[in-house]
Amino acid sequence: MYEVPDQTGKTIVITGANSGTGKEAAARLAAAGAQVIMAVRTPEKGEQAKAEILRRHPAAKLEVRRIDLADLASVRGFADDLLAAGAPLDVLVNNAGVMAPPDRHTTADGFELQFGSNFLGPFALTMYLLPLLLRADNPRVTTMSSGTANFGRINFDDLQWERRYSPTRSYAQSKLADLILSVRLAEIAGERGWNLRSTAAHPGYTRTNLQTAGAGIGRDKPARGLLGSLPILPSQDVEQGAEPLLYAAGDPSARSGEYYGPTGRFGLVGPSGPAKITRRARDEKVSARLWDVAERLTGTHLPA
């Protein structure tokens, strides 16, 4: 098991910290000494996760706060509370997401659910919290992407999937957008001389509730997830599946602009290491256009 380096003195925000890779990351980063803010949509579930982590690590410093990444007002409210306190933020982990709901749903702001909550919400949160991150000594933004980003396209003609919704293609688009966010933020940090690392990770095929939760949205009965019909694929438990995220968020050796994931069979399982960034995430024209669109849709901008 990957041993997280000492995180004493760091304050870390993790979205989606009540389950799956987010919960595991919260537990292990807190066990390494960090003060972890568990940013969750349902505080009751966050408190349950906090209690479970404290049973494993009684000295863990954890705080549950509510955020709904599918509601930009909620994202702004969460950020405003941290900005009002004014304390530096060492790490932001954009982990939360929804995966392949079978029918098209929209966010509180009218965006297609996956594009809105997987990309626009984290984009806005990152923009809002950059002033606090830039006050820290060695700040970092780590964004969870997915292997499906390799198959994604940014469909500027129908970003919100209003004409012909596809659960899998819209998910792939949102995860490619996350990877573009991470790569472009690293470039911007370099251009502006910011001491900020922007890293990305993917969990391979990790068994969590992500696959089933998204597939069950809007359905009375549980549904099979995106990978549930492919039992022959190698998979791993959450302890190992969270390790690329932990490495990208907490290891001194993780490099800005890089991408980390499992290095075993098909890139789905195994020890963490560098992952290949699809050329679509490095397309300068696509990245610049997507960034402009995200700023316009969220009403957020880079700090002066």
- Residues identified as active-site: 171
Place of tokens 């700040």: 139
Pairing, β 61-66 against β 91-94? unpaired
* Residue count (the chain): 304
* Sign of the Cα pseudo-torsion (141, 147, 150, 156, in order): negative
